[in-house]
Amino acid sequence: MIRRLFWMCVGAGFAVFVMRRMQELRDKLRPENVAGQVGDSLSGLGQGLRDAFQEGREAMRESEDATWSEIRHTDPHSGTARFN
């Protein structure tokens, strides 16, 4: 008898847990919430792309500056670099 009561309480607790999770999921998947989540995701993606392009441009500038610096210090007649 005690075992049946125990398992009945376990089943009832599990049912309450599942019902609450399903209600949270239902609320999360409402059209207005989904649209907001998609908008936030796209906004974050756009910001990430802007940051990546900015970082790429900075690295490209640094590389170009280093290349031009090396070209300026190269002796055109011998093909070797001069270091001042």
Q: What is the mean pLDDT of residues 63-70?
A: 89
Is the pLDDT at 1 greater than 60? The verdict is yes
Report domain extents, the chain. 2-72
pLDDT score at 46? 86
pLDDT in tens, 14-64: 999 999 999 999 988 888 888 888 888 888 888 889 999 999 999 999 999
84 contact partners, CB below 8 Å, separation of at least 6: 73
Distances in Å between the alpha carbon of 50 and those of 15, 45, 54? 47, 9, 6
* Cα 50 from chain centroid (whole Å): 13
Going 41 to 47 to 51 to 57, the CA torsion angle's sign is positive
pLDDT score at 17? 96
Question: Under a CB-based contact definition with an 8 Å cutoff, are residues 80 and 74 in contact?
Answer: yes
